[in-house]
Structure 1
């Protein structure tokens, strides 16, 4: 067959194969156009999961009569005019292909009234004829009978319920990105979602529920041109799938390998490997710093400085998740008590409980050696928080010992967030009392986290190096050889001495002392692969942390170990001063709280 030009209609159908995968793809493109038009309210109507009809009505600026035919042409857009515009694009759409591709595989019409026009105009995709129409303002895009002219493609569509579920996902993603726009979704004449315009928190609550917000922490971080905001859940709200993960770059929902890796690493210390975190995060940066023109559906992006973005997201999330949740109890305890129900006596805080006394927590002999070494090597904190015992169970020299008598529990700001120990339950849980109510602590999980964080702090400096008596030589590919040469300085700082031993072989002469027992070939291959894929590697830290987690788990105080009150109180104080003390190394919560109001509900007080 000789070389020839394809007809325009066939070109559009080929483009539709990339852009219009299913009804949800159509809805995404049309909704993004509605957002770009400056709409404040958008209504979406679907029939038969979007296969029979997708109708999107907005109150945006509208399209002038003379430009309506151009809107259906390929590569026709009002959003960019030059390469510079493309590199700084701030709109959701910009290529000008979507409407032409959709029109090639459906019966589509556009009705629009431009601001200031006496009336609206309508154009049908086939035939392309203009006619006067009635419309108050904005634009209505009506897409009917999707794939009516490509029946083979229509056979690949799933059931009505499945296709509607995909459309619902797209609608929710856009709704989370634009809380300033009122949105409504209907399916087969029945309203499925109605979202008024408002603040981001209210929109997140409407779409993800109170459970997510109650278990999430607010993320706010700035670093030069980068800004990260949103909500990230604690491990207790982890999911078995990734259905509650929403990441936006300049308002655009994306699925990016680099960002996913940064988030996963931020959760690595507190989330079990088979679980997935939930989050709604918004990354803002100069449009010049991100290329959004790398995927037909614009769901992937490429950053100009990927290392900086990866590190910023990783550290911002890690700092947010590391903040101890115990501090929030202090604020709760200082709030005025709600009035007691009629007929029920008001709950009175106890003023007869002894404050903590420092003592050495009972633990396994191996853990004691690690713990004493970590405590002796760690520098003194610059300014311990008021009310916290210094972060070591053993009293420091010269530290005055608290009295053994029982003065009243300090109230208000002086009361520790996790309170004072009352007793041990079955040798597993510590019961403690604070100003707000009752605290339950899993002593093994809590102690495991404390040991783990201390060991990490001790070893966060320059790693010790273990020279190998016989260099480990193994074969590698050309990419690994290039990666080893490119990152030689970084590898040396990590404790690796690697040099070529032949055209396709590497020799490892030293490794970090902590990883001396690890299989060298496997470790170095993983490291080089990580360096190729991600600018900032976490492989060494992750492998080191696995070993530290094992040591901490075996060294932590065991269940059925009887602790004295001073030992229990020392553990509570150490929890308050430890990062990520809310969860153990496996993502389980270490403590929970029951307020006096919660206890009153359990016993039906006031009813």
Structure 2
């Protein structure tokens, strides 16, 4: 309802600086974590090597960031609280940005909605202090401080109390602050970070600490990711390093079997800046689409680096969104680099699979009396003699027990043989359990293989290879299907018509905004062409590119592979089991099935002995 009448024309007014800063604060400072992000980024831009962050009550009553950077001269301190005053850029080129901050909005915005105090000292000069409360600036005064800067923000949003109602619990706000600090710590391995919760009395407690890491690019990043994401991620991640036409992608990507139920472990950076960009997230999803089901998410820490003029970071005041000049190039780089890295990992599966298996095993409670062992570990000769003696007995027991073991006859090895089969990564097959699980012996443990899942992956990879070599067979429609679209949608589809044609989907303009579909991929069978094209358009709108047709074809190949693989319940001979193991070792991605589940579990002998108390 319009409350204005012709006699009450609104008057155009110039807002004062306090109101302008409060409005800007609504965009820059959404919650305490946003304030921490801006202050820590300022400290990094100032060349700090050590940054300490103290938080009270989830950042609602206190945020204090201390750094050992260059500091701010006394005569420039008042200017630092002026809107759009910054030392990062000169304003002549808004695309040539090499720092985190550059807009000059954070400090005046924080001073407009809270009680802000800045204490700073440059090397060789006296320290100074400046305070601002609700937009009111006080005079500069001396301060006793080491070289660097201490920014203290108290009573956030006291000047805009309505904003306090939208904040969450202290614990939730503290968790958001911790996430922000961890992302910035990943971006700067050479900087030490300490996050401390000082709520209540006392010194408080350290909730996160990451000491500075030295070394080359990957060594330093690996060390920092171990501090932030944990050693488990580092042990189950693959190094990624690829470059294409001025863009470089580095970082670590988790194995498909080390996936998560949500996207919380996905960390993406552009020129060192943490971002949440739908283009990058879409590319990540596309890279793992062949290995994970849609309810599983990969764990990654990836860094895209390029010349500043190839990406626009001035899209939003919070600087969490970016816009690439050539988004298709970036998406293609991420997809191809990740798929090559995962292929290089071969049949490797994550160590967490073995950990979960051992955790599921529950040994019987130990008796109160001391342990008594019948014998120590037998010698290799005694173990071989024992296997030979037991093999016929195992074969005879197959009718009484659900496990069936195919005895392997040991023969003298020729001198020319390079190594025993047990020394292979997946070892030598020793038996089959429940007609579905292959038991193999390795040099230092054992491997349990899901024969159906493993063979399903092998068949799938063969089908994909044949598809890549021979192309996608297309079936011509007897009567081309004409689909009415808007002119914009038609143009988007025609721009990728060549790509669609390579995947067996042939389209051409049919006057106005219509598209004629003349051929569809034969492997898809009967296709609803209109629905398929509209799904492709939706994907173009979401991610700037479309792999939908290819994904549908790969889904069909996956289904074909499932039906064409060794079924559960089929008895396999020893030579068949060993052939499957050798093929797994030679096939990329064989460590997980088509849905991201592991195809085998490896247990080390030391872990097995620990289960039986033989340590």
Query: Normalising by structure 2, what TM-score?
Result: 0.84
Moved more, 206-215 or 258-267: 206-215
**Residue aligning to 2:459:** 451
Shift of 1:410: 5.3
**Residue aligning to 1:513:** 522
**Residue aligning to 1:22:** 31
Shift of 1:532: 4.9
**Residue aligning to 1:128:** 138
User: How many angstroms apart in 2 are the aligned matches of 1:601 and 1:34?
Assistant: 49
Unaligned 5+ segments in structure 2 are 1-9, 214-219, 351-374, 389-408
User: How many angstroms apart in 1 are the aligned matches of 2:467 and 2:19?
Assistant: 63
User: How many angstroms apart in 2 are the aligned matches of 1:224 and 1:458?
Assistant: 30
Shift of 1:548: 0.5
**Looking at both structures, which has the greater relative contact order when contacts are Cα pairs under 8 Å and sequence separation is at least 6?**
1
User: How many angstroms apart in 2 are the aligned matches of 1:278 and 1:217?
Assistant: 11
Shift of 1:216: 1.9
Distance verdict in 2 for CA 1:351–1:294, change over 3 Å: farther
Shift of 1:502: 4.6
SS in 1 for 2:291: coil
Shift of 1:413: 10
**Residue aligning to 1:573:** 582
**Residue aligning to 2:104:** 96
Shift of 1:521: 1.1
Alignment equivalent of 1:523, drawn from 532, 541, 551: 532
SS in 2 for 1:230: strand
User: How many angstroms apart in 2 are the aligned matches of 1:25 and 1:185?
Assistant: 15
CA offset digits 1:218-274 (Å, max 9, x no partner)? 223333533222221122221111111111111110111111111111111111111
Distance verdict in 2 for CA 1:509–1:524, change over 3 Å: same
Shift of 1:465: 1.9
User: How many angstroms apart in 2 are the aligned matches of 1:519 and 1:248?
Assistant: 39
| 1:407 is the counterpart of 2:410 | no
Moved more, 591-600 or 160-169: 591-600
CA offset digits 1:404-459 (Å, max 9, x no partner)? 94538853899422121111011111011222221111100000000001011111
CA contact (8 A) 1:147 1:153 kept: yes
SS in 2 for 1:460: helix
**Residue aligning to 1:190:** 205
Shift of 1:161: 1.2
Distance verdict in 2 for CA 1:351–1:535, change over 3 Å: farther
User: How many angstroms apart in 1 are the aligned matches of 2:379 and 2:489?
Assistant: 67
Query: Normalising by structure 1, what TM-score?
Result: 0.85
SS in 1 for 2:137: coil
**Residue aligning to 2:611:** 602
CA offset digits 1:109-155 (Å, max 9, x no partner)? 100001221x2000012333100000011000111111111111111
**Residue aligning to 1:439:** 447
User: How many angstroms apart in 2 are the aligned matches of 1:283 and 1:103?
Assistant: 34
User: How many angstroms apart in 1 are the aligned matches of 2:503 and 2:557?
Assistant: 17
User: How many angstroms apart in 2 are the aligned matches of 1:138 and 1:554?
Assistant: 66
**Residue aligning to 1:425:** 433
Counterparts in 2 of 1:191-340, with a 5 A limit?
191-198=206-213, 199-326=220-347
**Residue aligning to 2:571:** 562
CA offset digits 1:491-531 (Å, max 9, x no partner)? 33433332344534322121222234222111122223434
Shift of 1:217: 2.0
CA contact (8 A) 1:65 1:121 kept: yes
User: How many angstroms apart in 1 are the aligned matches of 2:596 and 2:500?
Assistant: 30
Moved more, 465-474 or 223-232: 223-232
Q: Spell out structure 1 runs of 4+ moving beyond 6 A.
A: 349-354
**Residue aligning to 1:332:** none
User: How many angstroms apart in 1 are the aligned matches of 2:347 and 2:473?
Assistant: 35
CA contact (8 A) 1:344 1:605 kept: no
User: How many angstroms apart in 2 are the aligned matches of 1:412 and 1:294?
Assistant: 60
CA contact (8 A) 1:438 1:594 kept: yes
| 1:484 is the counterpart of 2:493 | yes
Shift of 1:44: 0.6
| 1:498 is the counterpart of 2:513 | no
CA contact (8 A) 1:324 1:582 kept: no
CA contact (8 A) 1:497 1:509 kept: yes
CA contact (8 A) 2:278 2:542 kept: no
